[in-house]
Amino acid sequence: MTALTVVQVNAQMYIQGGANFANITKTNDGQTEKNNILTTFNVGFMSRFGLSSIFDLESGLLLTGRGSKAETYFNGGNDYVKSTFNPLYVEVPLNAVVKLPTGGGSHIFFHAGPYIAMGIGGRSKMESKVGPLVSTSTSAIKFSNDDPFTSQQDDAAYDKLKRFDFGVNLGGGLQFKHLILKANYGLGFSKINSTESDNEVNDKNKYRTASLSIGIPF
């Protein structure tokens, strides 16, 4: 006689989409002074593994925008240089999720965990005004082909970004039966310029990305 044990796992997948409010650190202690927030987007799918009603893990695949805007004025504010920097990454997060039931099948949740990301594209734009002359230029963002498992930066250049980024996500939200409302803050640990290999010297040139997203379970 053979006994079969069936374990039911309430895994859940959901489509996610929303707005990113991206910036890049400029100071040694990780502040974003003199940079302006760039509004971009995130979209993709996530899956919760269904470990328990209180604790869970989730992961997925997201297309997410990062970057920043900077404006410098001179000559009494009449002339300026404005730059917009908007790289796109494919991100794989892995979050621990704690759920607190609020009744009626809904709950508050908090999540935290690491992410890795790979740059796949994006654009940068610059506009300048000196006297009556205004000029604009747009170019594709370039990534170095560095190996993420080594400390050296192959194919590095001052006008290229590292292709690979890593950091942590922190956030939370509300989940209803057919809707998930999520807030997230991503702290990048890697300096984004391909010529910078020592991430521990200070916290300059690292991504800081807040996001508000909606998830639809299916």
Contacts of range 174-178, beta carbons closer than 8 Å, 24 or more positions apart: 174/102, 174/106, 174/107, 174/108, 174/109, 175/99, 175/106, 175/107, 175/108, 175/109, 175/215, 176/105, 176/106, 177/105, 177/106, 178/216, 178/217
pLDDT for 27 equals 84
DSSP letter string, 104-158:
TTEEEEEEEEEEEEEEEEEEEEEEEEETTEEEEEEEE-EEE---TTSSS-TT--T
pLDDT band, residue 73 (cuts 50/70/90): confident
pLDDT for 150 equals 65
Residue located via tokens 């040694």: 28
Residues 114 and 4: their CA atoms lie apart, in Å, by 37
Q: What is the largest CA-CA distance in the chain?
A: 91
Q: Supply the mean pLDDT for the chain.
A: 89
User: What b/e sequence results for 69-91 when a residue is b if at least 16 CB atoms lie within 10 Å of its CB, and e otherwise?
Assistant: bbeeeeeeeeeeebbbbbbbbeb
152, pLDDT greater than 80? no
Q: Per residue in 116-148, pLDDT tens?
A: 999 999 999 989 999 999 999 999 999 998 766
191 half-sphere exposure, CB direction, 13 A CA radius = 20
DSSP category for residue 33: T
168, pLDDT greater than 70? yes
pLDDT for 149 equals 66
pLDDT band, residue 216 (cuts 50/70/90): very high
Distances, alpha carbon 24 to alpha carbons 3, 163, 179, 181, in Å: 58, 16, 31, 25
Asked whether 11 and 34 are in contact (CB, 8 A), the reply is no
User: pLDDT: is 73 or 55 the higher one?
Assistant: 55
User: pLDDT: is 93 or 76 the higher one?
Assistant: 93
4, pLDDT greater than 60? no
pLDDT band, residue 9 (cuts 50/70/90): low
Q: 101-105, 124-128, 156-160, 170-174 — which one is most confidently predicted on average?
A: 170-174
Mean pLDDT in residue range 194-206: 86
Q: What percent of the chain has pLDDT over 90?
A: 64
Please name the amino acid found at residue 41: F
Q: What percent of the chain has pLDDT over 70?
A: 93
Domains of the chain listed by start with CATH number: 14-217 (2.40.160.20)
**Poorest-pLDDT segment among 128-137, 146-155, 165-174:** 146-155
Q: Per residue in 18-46, pLDDT tens?
A: 999 999 998 888 787 778 899 999 999 99
